[in-house]
Each structure stands twice: as structure tokens, then as C-alpha cells.
Amino acid sequence: MITRDKLYIGGRWVPPGDPDLLKIRSPHDQSILGRVAQATNADIDRAVAVAREAFDHGPWPVTTPQQRQDVIRRLNTLRETRADEVAAAVSAENGSALWFTKMGQPFLTRQVTAYLKAASDLAWEETLEPSDPTAPYDTIVRREAIGVVAAVIPWNSPFSAATAKLVPALLAGNTVVLKVSPENSLSMMLLADLFTEAGLPEGVLSILAANRETSEHLIAHPDVDKIAFTGSTRAGRRIASIAGEQLKRVSLELGGKSAAIILDDADISSAAEGLKFGSLGNNGEACILQTRILAPRSRYLEVVDALKEMVQSLKVGDPSAPDTFVGPMIRPDQQQRVLSYIKLGIEEGARLVTGGPQIPNGLENGNYVTPTLFADVDNSMRIAQEEIFGPVLVVIAYDGIDDAISIANDSEYGLSGGVWSASTDHALQVARRIRSGTVTINGSPISFDGPFGGYKSSGTGREYGAVGLSEYLEYKSITRKR
């Protein structure tokens, strides 16, 4: 059992305000994985004060972009050398299957590499000639750090969410207080070790696990200049209201209920195999998953049968086992939440194709849910409109392309989506009409060079690449006489 009895504040391990340690339990069998210190409001105040001092008087904001990139590059290399350790730690805490956390390691590398390229290509200071050649001045445009960033991330994919915020914030010269979920306390302390080893100066970064109330204390702190949040839409609305009251910069990556449109010329077996990853990866606990499957009425039964075969083939069990595809839900309350949605789908009149509210045999001690597929679903049903965050798929019939696009867009969310077709050009025409921040064609992975974020209630602002880096910058214009 691992014990972490100190907090990581400003790059130093310090005693917590509350000496009681939180027990971290395995979602697989409820065994105790470790005991970890949790931050109080007073600890948050300490972390913000350290970050404020480091930004206002420390060296980090005035180091060169190249020096900051060197630190992040070292961090990336260090994490790569400990990739198996990182994957195992996240699987143990989250219940994410080991295939998923291992597959995520090279994706983290690509994510960081894209940010490094964006920072290297960026004109941190440039001179603009006036559009009027007779004007007696020119303009220097500077891109500068915002200040103290409060980054708040969820439990479902902690290293990816942390990377999406920490790397651009630090490359821009900001100081950061990262608030992580209690469920991820162990793996996120591993991230703290990596930053220290990479040579990040003291004061620049704090990584603290804390509950929801303490998170709000951080977000509302008057010395925080920018909020970066990933989580539920409900929480995002609350954070946006706080940011609005204080006129803080804010970016929000929120929920999703994304649609995958299978066109009538698609290879159904290939689509079903691709949706295994795009709809049920990470145990279904991911905001970008395409959990509404839209099938042409002419091939509807074929699609349902292919998805049924795929869902029934998934091995459910110990997330550390190499052949497990779906592990347990993160907590018992999340397990019960998903089970309640499965029962709701039955009550709403959807046809239960496979799965159901029963817990898989032999896994009663863990937070397990049987992967479930519903057919004959109307898009107005709650199981088609609300984010379930578990291994539950719904299949909806459509009549023609216009109907498919109308159903896909009939959602309060707009985070992700997919199109499956034998013709990339045809799929691209459909993708352009989907009101969503990201759309993949035939199971293509999301690019880390392009912007990632949501339309509508899926958030505001973008992450990844040059656009994601710009979220952590202020723009200053200095005019001078020529």
C-alpha cells in the first residue's frame, strides 16, 4: 500500500493542513490501494500565494520560450521512460482497462509534441507594419502569460486532462495550481515527481487533490487569473458564472452525447469494430465517446446485429488483465448511476438487445456494469439525450442524410461525432454539417495539432495545438513612432 502524506505545493512536499489521509480504494475489489493527503481551503490559499509570488517575482514568466520548452521536453521524455508505471497506476485507481491506459501513453507524447511545435512556431513578439503606409507608427504585438492558472480536471483520464492544461499553461509562462480528483491522488502524485525531476522551478506548479467544495474555493480565489476546467456541464455552468462575476479568463471542456452516423454504403463490420473503441473505450467513461449510433433504416437490423456481436464479445473484469476490455466504474455511486440509466431505457420502451442492469457474475465486489446495447431508440428518450458515462449504447434509425444530420444535431451537446462511409468525400460532406467541435471519419483518431473542444453545452474555448496554447496567452500591442 502506498502512502503519500504530504502535499505538492510550489514544487515542494509540505505537510497538509488536515493530517487525516484519504483511503484510495480499488474499483475492482474495494481493496485499499493507498492513503493520500487531501487539500483544505487553507492549503489552496498557500498554493495560490506561492503561484502568485512565482508569477509576479519569479523567473519562470521571464524565461525564454526555448527554456520553457526544454523543461516540457524533459518531462515528456521522463514520462515515456515510466510509461508502464503510469499506465498501471491509472488502471489501478480508475478501473480503466490496461489496454486503454497503455495505448494512451504514445497519445500523451503526441499531445505534448504538438504543443511544443506550436510554442516553437509561435511569434512571441512581432512587429506589424501599418495598413496605411503614411501612418507615422508601427505596432509591436507581444504574446504574454496570463498569470496564475487554476486547472481543474476530472478523474476519468487524468494524465491526458492534466497534460492538456499544464503543458500549454507552462509553455506560455503561467504558474499553475492543478486540482485533481481524490480518486486520482496516487497517479497525480507520480506526475508531481516527474515535474520535479524535469527541473521545473519552485513555485511554478502545485498539484492538489481536493473535494468539490475546495475546488470552488480555488476557482473563486481572487488571485487566480484564468480557470481551465474539464468536467460536467452542470459544474461548467457554475464555474462560468464565477468567472463572469470576476471577469476571469475561462475555458471549459464539458460533457457530450455524440453521434456516430453510419451511412448506407459503410462496411458495417468495420464500423462495429471501430465503435468498440470509439464508443466503449475507457469503460464508457469518456466525454468524447460516440454513444448514439445512427443507422440507415435500410440496414438497421444489420447494424444492430453487428453491434450486438461486438458488445457481447467484450471481456469484462479485472482491469489489470491483458484480455480485459471493460473494467469497473470508478465508484459505487457511478456504477449505480449507470445501472439506473439502463433501467430507465427499459422503462422508456427501448429494446434491450444485450446487457442489462444485472452485475456480471463473479464481479459483485467491484463497481461493474454489463456492457449494454439498446435498439429502437427514439432520440427524445433520456438515454439518447443525457450523458450516461458508462458502457451503454443506443441505436437510432434514420431516413436519409438530412434526417441523420438532424438527429445528430438534436442534442444540447456538441463535443464529438463520427461518420462511417465507403467514400471519404461523402463522409466529409456529412461531417461538415454536424454541429460538433470534433468529427472523425471511419474511426480516425483525434488530432492533437488541431483544436479540440465543444459547441453548445459542451463548453467554450479549445485545447490542443496552437489554438490550445493561445488560450493561455494575453495579447499586448505597443505602438511607437517611426
Q: What is the Cα Rg of the chain in Å?
A: 23
What distance in Å separates the CA atoms of residue 211 and residue 62, rounded to the nearest whole number? 33
What distance in Å separates the CA atoms of residue 196 and residue 191, rounded to the nearest whole number? 9
Instruction: Name the active-site residue from 93, 216, 287, 471.
Output: 287
What distance in Å separates the CA atoms of residue 415 and residue 286, rounded to the nearest whole number? 11
Find where cell 465507403 sits. Answer: 422
> Positive or negative CA dihedral for 360, 361, 363, 364?
positive
Decide: 194 and 75 in contact? Cβ < 8 Å: yes
What distance in Å separates the CA atoms of residue 29 and residue 32, rounded to the nearest whole number? 9
Q: How far is CA 433 from the centre of its chain?
A: 24
Longest dimension (CA), the chain: 81
What are the C-alpha distances in Å from 284 to residues 99, 101, 359, 467?
A: 14, 14, 16, 28
Find where cell 450516461 sits. Answer: 388
* 253 in active site: yes
What are the C-alpha distances in Å from 348 to residues 308, 379, 400?
A: 20, 11, 25
> Positive or negative CA dihedral for 120, 472, 164, 449?
negative
Decide: 98 and 107 in contact? Cβ < 8 Å: no
Instruction: Tell how strand 12-14 and strand 7-9 pair up.
Output: antiparallel
Selection from 36, 82, 55 nearest residue 193 by Cα: 82
Provide CB contacts within 8 A for 277, sequence distance 6+: 443
Instruction: Name the active-site residue from 93, 216, 253, 285.
Output: 253
What are the C-alpha distances in Å from 241 to residues 98, 238, 245, 415?
A: 38, 5, 6, 21
| DSSP state letter for 130 | P
Find where cell 462560468 sits. Answer: 240
Selection from 80, 104, 90 nearest residue 33 by Cα: 90
Instruction: Tell how strand 226-230 and strand 205-209 pair up.
Output: unpaired
Selection from 161, 173, 119, 124 nearest residue 467 by Cα: 119
What distance in Å separates the CA atoms of residue 43 and residue 179, rounded to the nearest whole number? 11
Q: Which residues are catalytic?
A: 253, 287
